[in-house]
Amino acid sequence: MNPNLNLFFCLLFTLCSMYQCRDVGEAQKANLISSACDRTLYKDLCRQTLQSDPESRAATDIGVLAKVALQHALSQAKQIQGQLSKQNDKSVAFKDCNENYDGASERLQDSVTSFKSKKYSDVLTWVSAAMSNSDSCEDGLKEMGKASPILGLSTTFSQLCSIVLALTNQLAGH
């Protein structure tokens, strides 16, 4: 057989193997997101959030996924704070919501710090506290009969926090 032909087939085989390995790696990463999200209450939001983020799409372990979800929850809290600051409504309900989301953001920032130190039980505590802050805001707005876009954002925030709790529990082996 022609030596050039042998070299050609050798290169062709190598390239095919590399592409196949890359495809397998991509599938494993997609499966990581899918399997992690399957163990959450809000599977669709979990998949949508993690698959939209380049860091989680490249993740090789659940720790990265939990961190990304935590970052998204913190971002959502800050978005709500921004919406609250734009409101002209100076009612007690909106003032309380503003304070609640200030507290929620602080708790999530504490969670980020705890996560970096692998203090997962602290992460669970802080994220749960942030969810309580959000619930207090929602309850206050509902009691005042206030229709507000904050309620929709707040629901998403609570769902993201639930996802963080589920992923952190998986990471911590609970």
Contacts of 41 (CB under 8 A, 6+ apart): 159, 162, 163, 166
Angle at 56 between CA 52 and CA 58, to 5 degrees: 110
pLDDT of 86-108, one tens digit each? 887 778 888 899 999 999 999 99
According to the model, what pLDDT value does residue 148 have?
78
- Tens-place pLDDT, residues 93-152: 888 999 999 999 999 999 999 999 999 999 999 999 999 999 999 888 888 876 678 888
- Averaged pLDDT of the chain: 84
Distance of alpha carbon 17 from alpha carbon 156, whole angstroms? 42
Q: How confident is the model at residue 18 (pLDDT cuts 50, 70, 90)?
A: very low
Rounded distance, CA 106 to CA 127, Å? 10
Instruction: Give per-residue pLDDT as tens, 21-61.
Output: 344 344 455 589 999 999 999 999 999 999 999 999 999 99
pLDDT of residue 129: 96
Q: Residue 1: what pLDDT? A: 52
pLDDT at 14: 45
Dig out the tokens for 159 from the structure: 């769902």
pLDDT in tens, 75-84: 999 999 999 8
Tell me 118's DSSP state.
T
Give the pLDDT mean for 169-173.
Answer: 86
Q: What is the pLDDT of residue 46?
A: 98
What's the total number of domains in the chain? Answer: 1
- What's 78's domain CATH number? 1.20.140.40
pTM, two decimals, is 0.81
Domain of 141 in residue numbering reads as 3-172
